[in-house]
Amino acid sequence: MNTLQIASLLIVFAGAFGAINYLFFRLPSAIGILVVAFLASLAVLALDWFVP
Amino acid sequence: MALEVSRFVAELEFSETLLGWMLGLLLFAGALHVRIEDLRAQAWTIGLMATLGVALSTVVVGVGFSWVTGMPLLVALTFGALISPTDPVAVLGVLKEADLPKTLETKIAGESLFNDGVGYVVFLVLVGIAFPRPDSHAPHDVAGVALFFLQEAGGGALLGGILGWLVFQVMKRIDDYPLEVLLSLGLAFGGYELAIALHVSGPIMAVVAGLFIGDVGMKHGMSVETRKYLDAFWKLVDEILNAVLFLLIGVEVFVVTFSADFLSAGVAAIALALLARFAAVFVPVSLLRLFRSYDKGVVPIMTWGGLKGGISVALALSLPDSEWKPMILTATYTVVLFSIIIQGLTIAPLAKRLGREPEML
């Protein structure tokens, strides 16, 4: 993946998680993005554990 | 799938991305919004906390962590150095609603800006000593360390001042906001890269340049319209970079090793970091209390509000590989997560309760 693709991916996810936070969690923006990203990551890890 | 994501995240080179340019931009943007008179009024507090405070915090965490985990002291000290800088972003955003006195806000923001720069230099010195490489030109003796500090910190400040002044001279003669914003971007990006090339501290350069443009530059070199646009532009850059940064922190969990030992080390690290932060705040404030007065809630607010963020994660990732790195990474990550989520979400109510001072008559 080149730098531009990575940058695009990051920006898209930051925006998406920010929106999710705003609509569902109402935490301050930056903190909210961290929480959603963390939960999403844990979800991926958990999914991988159950469905190898 | 998780394995692929893991590998992707690991390859993100979080460290280089952050330390490479995000940090410079973030510090420049942060410094832009601080007024020098406000800073000067809190100069002793900020100065003492950013130097003595960082040193104390490094030692407290280093010694404590070494004792708890059996890690060699020098390695534990590098952990102490990287966990000491605070991240103002989350705090200031959250504290907006707590309606704190301006002096406290300046203390928090100012200290955070400078302790990033100082912490980074301390970290570099300690890494050089703890993980010596044959070709490394890191100093090993006290005189060498002092010289290194002087070169990095002093050089960075000097470069920031000179470049800031040069850009200010150009801006004074121009009244075209897109061009002036472009010039400020050039200063931030170019200045940071130049600092690195000259072996001086990029973070400190960014802070000094940002302070200069944000204060002298805005007052004497810009029209009202330019000021508005420059302010708004950098505020947006700040917010967007922070959003991406916190996203990166959130997904770094893929790179962290979860084991019972490491997690308990992480919990110990949380306690140590809080204790260290308390020392870093309490000692300078107590010393200065002999000369001036402070709002009542200063120590608890600045202790609990000392959030650790991206820079700690980036520094931890930049450590040379060693048997202790995974444990340090896990501990760093646990502390950062705890401080941003738990401390970050509770600091506003705490501040509201403590900061509520009847205005001085």
Question: What is the spatial distance between Cα B200 and Cα B257, in angstroms, rounded to a whole number?
Answer: 34
Mark yes or no for CB contact A45/B93 under 8 Å.
Answer: no
pLDDT band for B322, please (50, 70, 90 cuts). confident
Interface test with A, best of B13, B242, B246, B312 (most A CBs within 10 A): B246
Question: What is the spatial distance between Cα A30 and Cα B242, in angstroms, rounded to a whole number?
Answer: 7
For residue B296, how many other CB atoms are within 10 A of its CB?
A: 12
Helix/strand/coil for B8? helix
pLDDT of B358 higher than 60: no
pLDDT band for B277, please (50, 70, 90 cuts). very high
Contact list, B2 vs chain A (CB under 8 Å): 44-45, 47-49
Q: With an 8 Å Cβ cutoff, is A20 touching chain B?
A: no
Handedness of CA B46, B52, B55, B60 (dihedral sign): negative
Parts of chain A with a pLDDT under 70: 1, 52
Closest residue in A to B343 (Cα–Cα) = A31
Task: State the average pLDDT over residues B303-327.
Answer: 86
Contact list, A14 vs chain B (CB under 8 Å): 240, 243-244, 246-247
Q: What is the dihedral of CA B103, B108, B109, B114, to 10 degrees?
A: 120
- Cross-chain CB nearest to B2 (options A6, A14, A48): A48
Mark yes or no for CB contact B248/A10 under 8 Å.
Answer: yes
Identify residues of B whose CB sits under 8 angstroms from chain A CBs: 1-3, 5, 8, 12, 89-90, 93-94, 239-240, 242-251, 253-254, 337, 340-341, 344-345
Phi, psi of B70 (to 5 degrees): 80, 10
Helix/strand/coil for B321? coil
Q: Within 13 Å, how many C-alpha atoms sit on residue B32's CB side?
A: 25
Closest residue in A to B11 (Cα–Cα) = A1
pTM above 0.90, yes or no: no
| ipTM score assigned to the predicted complex | 0.91
pLDDT in tens, B5-36: 776 676 666 666 666 678 888 889 888 888 88
Write down the pLDDT at residue B359. Answer: 41
More confident residue, B273 or B352: B273
Are the CB atoms for B202 and B195 separated by under 8 Å? yes
Contact list, A15 vs chain B (CB under 8 Å): 243
